[in-house]
Structure 1
Amino acid sequence: MLRGLTTVSFFADDVAAAQAWYTEVLGTEAYFAHEVDGHTAYVEFRIGDFQHELGIVDGRFAPHGRPGQPAGPVTYWHVDDVDAGFERLLSLGATVHEKPVERGPGFVTASVVDPFGNILGVMYNQHYLEVLAAARP
């Protein structure tokens, strides 16, 4: 039934500020933007080995409102060095959600809260690297 990750959506009250922050974090520009009433309401980045999509949606379009505290599932993005990635996110203005934790051999996770209230997870995952190696000729 589930075939793969298509888009992870984050919400921000200031989409332009979120776009600028994520452009710095990701090192790439958004490839798509959509306006509503003359304001940017959605931007989308394609990132990583499989060009997964990260969308930033105007907070007024959150389907069930936005909680006062960061909440919900954590999506982890593979990084080669969790400690370095975690520290870089903090240096760019994110705050600690969960410090790096080794979950088992080949699995380390950490998460931050971005300046817009979304939880961003980073993970070293040996299975991700195995899938990537198998996908390359």
Structure 2
Amino acid sequence: MADNFTAIIYPTKNLEQAKALFTTLIGEPPAQDTPYYVGWTVDGQNIGLNPHGFEQGMTGPIPYVDVDDIKARFDALVSAGAAVLQEPTDVGGGAQIATVKDADGNTIGLRSAPAA
């Protein structure tokens, strides 16, 4: 998996309303539609809606970078001065996410696929 921005997750308070808006924007129904996450893939870019995002501390969209070793990259970012928002956490099926904040207050997300 190459390190690149491949997901942008938006927090939403009204999942059905947001799903309708993004379906109109993207022009097709979501590829993944669950009560805890709704997502589309457009030209390799994942666009997702998180109905629990605000409860989890999200204040706006978060870009996620896919990495092979989430713990190592997370630790390297913290060593470089990033503030911890969310330690690497399993989000189902062995996939993990983590978030940090840079010195300017920007949230950076990391995402790793399940181990093979």
Q: TM-score, normalised by structure 1?
A: 0.41
As a proportion of its length, which structure holds more helix? 1
Structure with higher Rg: it is 1
Q: TM-score, normalised by structure 2?
A: 0.48
